[in-house]
Amino acid sequence: MTGSKVMCRNIKPLFNFDPPATDEEIRDAALQFVRKLSGTTKPAKRNEEAFERAVSSIAACARELLDSLETSQPARNREEVAAKARERSAMRFA
C-alpha cells in the first residue's frame, strides 16, 4: 500500500486530546507498531530484548513528538471521540 493513507486500525491518534495521552497509551501504540513491523505479537525468546528495546525507543520518540507538536485547534474530548468511534463500529458491523 505504498502512498496509501490507511493507518493500522489498532494505532489511534494521540495528539490534541484533553486529557493528554498517557505514557501507557503511547507505549501501547508503540507496541502495536513494533508488532506490525515485526509481524509477530510475541517474539521468540532470543528476540525479546530487541523487541522490548524497540518498543521503549519508539514510545520515547512518540512522547517527544506529541510534546513538541503545536496546534491552534481546541483539544478534542476523549469521550466524544470514543462515542463516535463506537457509533461507526456499530454501523459497520450491524
Residue 89, domain extent: 17-93
Strands (DSSP E) contained in the chain are 17-18, 76-77
Q: Please, what sign has the CA dihedral across residues 22, 91, 35, 40?
A: positive
Q: Is residue 59 part of a domain?
A: yes
The domain total for the chain is 1
Q: Could you read off the pLDDT of 3-50 as tens digits, one per residue? A: 445 545 667 889 999 889 999 999 999 999 999 999 999 999 999 999
pTM of the model: 0.78
In a domain, 3, yes or no: no
- Within a domain: residue 6? no
7 in any annotated domain:
no
The string of pLDDT tens digits covering residues 53-76 is 999 999 999 999 999 999 999 999
Does 25 map to a domain? yes
User: Is residue 8, in this structure, part of any structural domain at all?
Assistant: no
Q: Say if 81 falls within a structural domain.
A: yes
